[in-house]
Structure 1
Amino acid sequence: MPLPPLTIYRHDRRKRALITLAGEIDLDTVPLVRASLERCLRDGIRTIDVDLTPVTFCDCSGLNAFLYASQRITAAGGTLRLHHPPRTLVPMLDIAGCEFLLLGVPFGQLSPPPAPAPHRSVPPVPPVPVLSGGAV
């Protein structure tokens, strides 16, 4: 019997959930991802960690599902974090500027680092990109 293209495991702890996805995330399986994240929100979960370690492939439909879920969860006062994204997702996150999903920074709250105080004589340090060269 062949394995399903995507398996979803969910473990709750109060208002926090760990969702582990295993398999491939594409146009055929992304409705399962969306439904899983939406169910967490309906169940009152406000912090969602998504472990992508067992994911072998993720296309832009998966990225879109994570961005949509991030917006919805942030609007409800929560956060969505992606952990251990597959190699196919890392360049998309980098190009689209979506590294905040990996850091857990709520959508819409990205801002440049504050300027150093005027009384300091230390020159400002430019921000370091979170992802470079596909390394996580």
Structure 2
Amino acid sequence: MSSPPTLNVYRHDTGNRAMVTLTGEIDLSSAPLVHASLERCLRDGIRAVDVDGTTVTLCDCSGFNAFLYALMHTAAAGESLQLHHPSPALERLVVLTGSGSLFLALPDVFAGSRPPPWPSPVHQAAHRLAPALPALPGGVL
């Protein structure tokens, strides 16, 4: 019997910006690790989180839910989260859900180190997305 697929999370901070690299499968069992890792960035004072998804081999709806949750929390805190180099698995989810503008094309609003006005366009977009993805009981998309 083979061992279950794993997810590895690597984080590299530069000032108040973090690059989080995800390697492996994001599913129901590993989505909490994604969620915890991205939340930890916020607790550590990171203002811009860049997620490298190049080597994500699978991402199911629970993994996507972890990304949406992190996106809404970073936007609510006046911070940013951006997905870079999505693997085919991540890109498929982004395309199917029409969420590319939320994850892939966010401007670097922290170049001048001042957060955007509240509510930010990202926060407004995240709220427009919510009705299109109804949550099941338990909060999982």
TM-score when scaled to structure 1?
A: 0.73
Structure with the higher helix share, 1 or 2:
2
SS at match of 2:71: helix
Q: What do the CA deviations read for 1:35-56 (whole angstroms, capped 9, x no partner)?
A: 0000000001010000011111
Q: What do the CA deviations read for 1:36-89 (whole angstroms, capped 9, x no partner)?
A: 000000001010000011111111111111111000001111110011112222
Q: Please provide the CA RMSD for this pair.
A: 2.0
Equivalent residue letter for 1:107? V
Whole-angstrom CA distance in 1 between matches of 2:92 and 2:53: 15
1:6 Cα deviation from its structure 2 partner: 0.5
Summarize the Cα distance change of 1:26–1:108 in structure 2 as closer, same or farther, 3 Å threshold.
same
Which residue in the other structure is 2:105 paired with? 103
* Match runs of 1:1-136 below 5 Å: 5-99=6-100, 100-104=102-106, 107-110=122-125
Query: Identity, % of aligned pairs?
Result: 55
State whether residues 23 and 55 of structure 2, in contact with CA within 8 Å, keep that contact through their aligned partners in structure 1.
yes
- Return the index of the structure with the highest Cα Rg: 1
Moved more, 84-93 or 19-28: 84-93
Moved more, 60-69 or 2-11: 2-11
Aligned length: 110
Moved over 4 A (4+): none
State whether residues 53 and 90 of structure 2, in contact with CA within 8 Å, keep that contact through their aligned partners in structure 1.
no
Whole-angstrom CA distance in 1 between matches of 2:54 and 2:44: 25
Which 5+ residue runs of structure 1 have no aligned equivalent? 111-136
Equivalent residue letter for 1:64? N
Which 5+ residue runs of structure 2 have no aligned equivalent? 108-120, 126-141
